[in-house]
């Protein structure tokens, strides 16, 4: 894995996480000594002006990071946006959205117009695919799905110019790592703008713009917030793209509540230590699963047999808590027997909080350019901050339940092992 490069002013990412977004004007009062550590919650819709001249001046100048009207935000949201920009070397700015999906939708709307063609990775998050097929289609924008293993996309130029290339690495559910430097080099050579869904790694483990990407998208709902209690998305862009990204967000009236921004900022401060623990526990559990006879395959970029492992090693400075594994044989009922009895894993969508989750996943439903074939049903795990030994004991008992149903016997009585 790569070493953490030192960032802005020579400060490293963990130092930036502690310091970013705490401008004096957001933490202190004019003419008074002293400053609050964290920018507080500034709630606002109306902003009042001294007179008509000031009102007109505010309307005529840039409203970025200036009090104007609640929809353009207050220092609480600006602080979070600034911190996310600082975490992404090469970024000019960040806009915030009420969900990750809103961020993806607005970023795509900022770069595409009728008649354009979009290259979308086949392992993309399913709602991203839904946005393309159910909305972009109606606007005369064609989506072409490509294999995440591609390193050149020349074949797709035959049908006409490509406007945008969308990446997600590792891919949702199946965790294929893409060759981002090769793909962004191809895009630059062909005048194609690149966007990435960087939710899994976050800029801490994969600074996307530094790898040649133009626009980096996060579902902050996951690791930035980190506590499963806020929905939010962000788009961070280079100087060339931040203008259109910001203007499109304004036109769609996108904003986040100051309370949510404050919670996300609180989450961001501990991103470094949380991710390190998610990483260590997830790798330990992935390796353990890899040795179990009921498991056909583990899909985790840090394991050597995961597709794209070498690229993960080359480009990323860490791995996080989300991965999948494939059961050896068995059907829907055998998979459910494993998941339903888990004591320490919740059953639910989303991930990135402090708690562990288990989810049945069926990648074949969300593929069109590639074929998904596996030895059995798949389960996606999010490894939370619990003691990994408890999680392993829980999974061991789950695999015994799975085996009993698969092999047509009753599970051994006695509940979870260990
Ligand atoms: C959850 C998720 C999203 C969407 O985020 P929401 O805040 O739930 O809308 C986007 N991309 C990936 C990879 C995700 O896991």
Q: Strand pairing of 322-327 and 295-299?
A: antiparallel
Distance of CA 219 from the midpoint of ligand 1 (Å): 5
Distance of CA 32 from the midpoint of ligand 1 (Å): 42
pLDDT at 7: 55
Q: Would you give the DSSP letter of residue 410? A: P
Nearest in space to 316 (alpha carbons), one of 335, 334, 301, 299: 301
pLDDT at 124: 97
Residues serving a catalytic function are 71, 125, 197, 222
pLDDT at 417: 47
pLDDT at 1: 53
pLDDT at 418: 41
Q: Would you say the C-alpha torsion 371, 375, 380, 386 has a positive or negative sign? A: negative
Do domains 9-269 and 271-406 share one topology? The answer is no
Measured CA to CA, the distance from residue 193 to residue 347 in angstroms comes to 37
Of 108, 127, 208, best ligand 1 pocket probe by most atoms within 8 Å of the beta carbon: 127
CATH 3.90.1150.10 fits 271-406, yes or no: yes
pLDDT at 5: 52
pLDDT at 375: 93
Measured CA to CA, the distance from residue 185 to residue 278 in angstroms comes to 32
pTM above 0.75, yes or no: yes
Mean pLDDT of successive 10-residue stretches along the chain, which has 418 residues: 59 96 94 95 96 89 84 96 97 98 98 98 97 96 96 92 97 96 97 98 98 98 98 98 97 97 98 98 98 98 93 98 98 98 97 98 93 94 98 98 91 50
CA of 350, closest atom in ligand 1: 1
Query: Tokens for 165?
Result: 């290339």
Of 221, 254, 263, best ligand 1 pocket probe by most atoms within 8 Å of the beta carbon: 221
Instruction: Quote the radius of gyration of the chain (alpha carbons, Å).
Output: 23
Nearest in space to 220 (alpha carbons), one of 174, 259, 260, 172: 260
Nearest in space to 168 (alpha carbons), one of 134, 118, 128: 128
Distance of CA 167 from the midpoint of ligand 1 (Å): 14
Q: Which long-range contacts (CB under 8 A, 24 or more apart) does 60-65 make?
A: 64/93, 64/246
For the chain, which residues make up each domain, given as ranges? 9-269, 271-406
CATH 3.40.640.10 fits 9-269, yes or no: yes
Ligand 1-lining residues (CB < 6 angstroms)? 99-101, 125, 172, 197, 199, 219, 221-222, 231, 233, 350
Q: Which helix (H) or strand (E) holds 121?
A: strand 117-121
Q: Strand pairing of 215-219 and 233-237?
A: antiparallel
């Amino acid at each position: 894995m790569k070493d953490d490069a030192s960032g802005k002013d020579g400060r490293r990412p963990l130092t930036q996480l502690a310091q970013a977004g705490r401008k004096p004007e957001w933490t202190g009062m004019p003419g008074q000594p002293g400053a609050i550590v964290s920018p507080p919650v500034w709630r606002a819709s109306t902003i009042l002006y001294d007179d008509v001249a000031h009102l007109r001046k505010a309307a005529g100048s840039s409203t970025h990071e200036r009090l104007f009207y609640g929809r353009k935000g207050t220092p609480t949201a600006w602080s979070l946006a600034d911190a996310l920009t600082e975490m992404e070397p090469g970024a000019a700015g960040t806009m915030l959205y009420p969900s990750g999906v809103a961020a993806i939708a607005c970023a795509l709307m900022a770069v595409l117009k009728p008649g354009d063609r979009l290259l979308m990775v086949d392992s993309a998050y399913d709602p991203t695919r839904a946005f393309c097929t159910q909305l972009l289609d109606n606007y005369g924008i064609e989506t072409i799905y490509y294999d995440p293993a591609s390193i050149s996309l020349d074949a797709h130029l035959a049908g006409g110019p490509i406007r945008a290339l969308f990446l997600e690495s590792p891919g949702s559910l199946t965790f294929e790592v893409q060759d981002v430097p090769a793909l962004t080099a191809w895009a630059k050579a062909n005048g194609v703008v690149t966007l990435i869904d960087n939710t899994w790694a976050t800029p801490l483990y994969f600074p996307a713009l530094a790898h040649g990407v133009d626009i980096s998208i996060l579902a902050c709902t996951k690791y930035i917030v980190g506590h499963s209690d806020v929905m939010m998305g962000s788009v961070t862009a280079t100087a060339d793209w931040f203008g259109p990204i910001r203007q499109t967000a304004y036109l769609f009236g996108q904003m986040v509540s100051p309370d949510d921004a404050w919670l996300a900022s609180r989450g961001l401060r501990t991103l470094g230590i949380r991710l390190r623990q998610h990483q260590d526990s997830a790798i330990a559990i992935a390796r353990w699963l890899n040795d179990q006879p009921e498991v056909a395959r583990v899909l985790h970029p840090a394991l050597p047999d995961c597709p794209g492992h070498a690229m993960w090693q080359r480009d990323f400075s860490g791995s996080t808590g989300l991965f999948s594994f494939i059961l050896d044989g068995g059907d829907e009922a055998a998979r459910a027997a494993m998941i339903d009895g888990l004591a320490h894993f919740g059953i639910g969508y989303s991930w990135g909080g402090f708690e562990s989750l288990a989810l049945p996943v069926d990648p074949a439903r969300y593929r069109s350019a590639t074929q998904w074939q596996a030895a059995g049903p798949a389960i996606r795990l999010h490894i939370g901050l619990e003691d990994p030994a408890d999680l392993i004991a829980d999974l061991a008992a789950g695999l015994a339940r799975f085996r009993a149903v698969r092999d047509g016997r009753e599970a051994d009585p006695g509940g979870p092992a260990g």
